[in-house]
Every structure is written in structure tokens, then in C-alpha cells.
Structure 1
């Protein structure tokens, strides 16, 4: 097997582990380095894996999902997804790398701030819009919604984010088909990544009760920081 594919599978394994443990984070951890391995991994293939992991987590935490609370976010998701697809027409690989890295660094910075935002319908719509925009354009749609929901109970965070990501990844994949970012080639690229994502998910489930949420969060933020800086640097070199 090609070393690039093995490295991509390793990144997805780590990302899926973190996403299952914390509720989000797979794309933040994996996307910048996947883009470095091959631009074709972003955004389509990683969104396919994200859809699969979201499906698993939605089923696992289905009793904790609040669909009524997520509806406003889903309403914002639709125009955000369209805007994210539109921007893919106007940026090259270097600009995408800078966008992706900057998104990661902003997500890390905001997650460290002592902010506790009340969840309101308007904020859910805004978070949904930006999640759709970033998710479709870069594969990283988690931070806006995760930041808004971060003070809910852990089980509710995992459940509601999983349900939201299931919807957002579905919309992103559908809208990428007519603009050429989702094809048989992208499906084949994603094929070996899905089992790696499943393995990371299963490992997280098996050790979840032993993990400190703070430890997982600090580790994922450290990885994100390195990946984000690397993505911005590599993007600026080719612009």
C-alpha cells in the first residue's frame, strides 16, 4: 500500500478517535496534514469519512439528540453550504491551505477563551451558516457549532454535534457533486480511510470511560495548533 495512503489512514484514525471522544475534531486534526499529503483529500474524501463517523455517533447517542434545538442551526446550514461551495470556484490550493489553517487556528484560539454563550435561535442559525460555509469549503465545519454548544452536558454535546454533522456532511457532499469536488475518484480516495475512521471510533468507545476529557481536549488542541500553523505556512509558500 502506498505510504501516502497509510499516512492518511493514520491521520483519520487519530481524528476519528478524538471526534468520538470529544464530539468534534476529526477534520481539524486531519485536514491540514491531509492537504499536505494530497490536495485531493480536501474537502470531499474527508467529508465522506466525517459522514460515516457522524452516522455511527448519531446512532450511539440517539437518545440524547434534541432535533428541535438543532432546527435553527440546520436552517442556517443550507445557505452556508451554498456559500462554501461557491468559494471553491475562486480559490486555488494555496489559498485553500491558508483558509483551512486559519480556520483551525481561530478554532483553537476561541476554544481557549472563557466564553459562555447562551444558545439562542439566532446564534444557532449563525453557527449553522458558518459551519456549512467552512465545512463545504475546507472540510472543517465543527468549530462554530461546537463553540456554541460546548457548555452543554458531555453526552448532549456528542449527540447534537453528531446529528448536526450528519446533516451538514450530507448537504456538503450533495452540493459538491455538480461542481466537480465529489466524483468516483474522490470516493476511491475515501475508501481506505473509512475503515481507519471506524477503528478510531471503536477504540475511543472502548476506552472512553478511562479518558480524562481535559487530557483529550489538550492533546487535540496541541495537534490542531501544529497542523494549523503548518497549513498556513505551506499555503503561503505557494501563493
Structure 2
């Protein structure tokens, strides 16, 4: 029972962060899900819930979407999605857990350092490729995009709407690839369904903070 309560609390907080800032669900949710569940189960739960919260949010911010940037990110993600699948299928489970922690730590340090990056079409493709790789590999697409757009000084509204639309694409493709080649577990879908009310209730105060 305590594990279920902690799960719902984590999902609620992650949902509130995602809806208020436009990012953060996977960054907050995945490390905690890895505590409660086996690595592959945790990654798939995170992707299902992330898909749900992205779908809820995109309708509110879709007018701010940068379609050309989105297309470049999607194009760039192609090779990364396939390579990340090999990481997901064949990497040691403990290594996957360490990878999530290391990625979040490195991302935090780079954000603090405020690394400046000049945006180009080529770099958009690279950012999409790295993000795609991390999505199928460990279920965390956000850090490379967050670092890249923070470094280029992209407006918050554009960042949020464009990345949300991109997440809908990469999470959907990643989930299909993972299930097709690695299977899924009943626990993934039961836990995702159980956590859905916490996800939706957390989005309400997040939306309020975003609009306030």
C-alpha cells in the first residue's frame, strides 16, 4: 500500500511540474519508478503516462508550435530511436538505472553552467537524434532538448509546445518498438491506469501556475 501511495505522489508532482514548465515528467518520474518497478516496466509506465500528459497539454498550447522545428526534430530522431532500442533490449538493467541518474546529473550541471549554443538546422537534427536514442533506450527524451533550447535562448512558449508535440511522436514510436521487440507486462498497464487519476489531478495546479 505504501508503494502505491508513493507512486501516486510521485506521478502527481511530476505531472504538476510538466504542466507548469513544459518539461520534467520523465526527469522526476523515471528515477522513482525505477525504485518501485523492474527497469523495463518502469520505462514503459513512464512513457505511457508521459504520452497521456503530453496529449492533455498539447491542445492548450498548440498555437505556439514551431512546425518547421518539429519536423527537423522528428527527422533527426529516426536513427536515434532504432539505436536506442538496442540499448533497451540488450543493456544490463543496472546500467540502465545508472544511465538515468547520470543523465539527470549531467543535465543539471550543464543547466547551472548556462552553456550557450547557436541554433542551426543541423544541430536541430542532432538534438532530435540524441533525444530519440534516449527515448527508446531509457524513456527520457527531455534533457537533450531542454539543454539545447536553453542554450539557444528559445522562447518558453515555443519550447513547451514544440517539445510536447515531439514527445507525442517519439513516445508513441518508442513504445511500439519496445513492445514489438521486447514485449510488455500486465503490470505496466495496470499501474499506468491506477496512476492516471493522479496524473490528471496534478495537471490542474500545474496549468494554474503556468497561466498565473
Residue 178 (structure 2) pairs with residue 152 (structure 1): no
The answer on whether the counterparts of 1:54 and 1:163 sit within 8 Å (CA) in structure 2 is yes
C-alpha change, 1:4 and 1:181, in structure 2 (3 Å) is: farther
How far, CA to CA, are the matches of 2:112 and 2:41 in structure 1? Answer: 29
Partner of 2:85 in structure 1? 85
Which consecutive residues of structure 2, in runs of 5 or more, have no partner in the other structure? none
The answer on whether the counterparts of 1:65 and 1:160 sit within 8 Å (CA) in structure 2 is yes
Which consecutive residues of structure 1, in runs of 5 or more, have no partner in the other structure? 211-239
1:190-234 per-residue CA deviation (whole Å, 9 max, x = no partner) reads 111222111111111123344xxxxxxxxxxxxxxxxxxxxxxxx
TM-score by length of 1: 0.82
Partner of 2:193 in structure 1? 191
Residue 140 (structure 2) pairs with residue 132 (structure 1): no
How far, CA to CA, are the matches of 1:153 and 1:76 in structure 2? Answer: 21
User: Runs of at least 4 residues of structure 1 off by over 3 A?
Assistant: 181-185
How far, CA to CA, are the matches of 2:106 and 2:146 in structure 1? Answer: 13
The answer on whether the counterparts of 1:177 and 1:183 sit within 8 Å (CA) in structure 2 is no
Partner of 2:56 in structure 1? 56
C-alpha change, 1:181 and 1:25, in structure 2 (3 Å) is: farther
* Residue 100 of structure 1: how far off its partner (Å): 0.9
Secondary structure in 1 aligned to 2:91? coil
Q: What RMSD in Å do the two structures reach over aligned CA positions?
A: 1.5
The answer on whether the counterparts of 2:21 and 2:210 sit within 8 Å (CA) in structure 1 is no
Partner of 2:178 in structure 1? 176
Partner of 1:164 in structure 2? 166
C-alpha change, 1:179 and 1:57, in structure 2 (3 Å) is: same
* Residue 183 of structure 1: how far off its partner (Å): 4.4
Q: How does 1:1-239 map to 2 (within 5 A)?
A: 2-39=1-38, 41-150=41-150, 151-210=153-212
C-alpha change, 1:17 and 1:41, in structure 2 (3 Å) is: farther
Aligned residues: 209
* Residue 25 of structure 1: how far off its partner (Å): 0.9
The answer on whether the counterparts of 1:43 and 1:181 sit within 8 Å (CA) in structure 2 is no
The answer on whether the counterparts of 2:20 and 2:209 sit within 8 Å (CA) in structure 1 is no
Secondary structure in 2 aligned to 1:179? helix
The answer on whether the counterparts of 1:27 and 1:140 sit within 8 Å (CA) in structure 2 is yes
Secondary structure in 1 aligned to 2:180? coil
How far, CA to CA, are the matches of 1:135 and 1:73 in structure 2? Answer: 13
TM-score by length of 2: 0.92
The answer on whether the counterparts of 1:78 and 1:171 sit within 8 Å (CA) in structure 2 is no
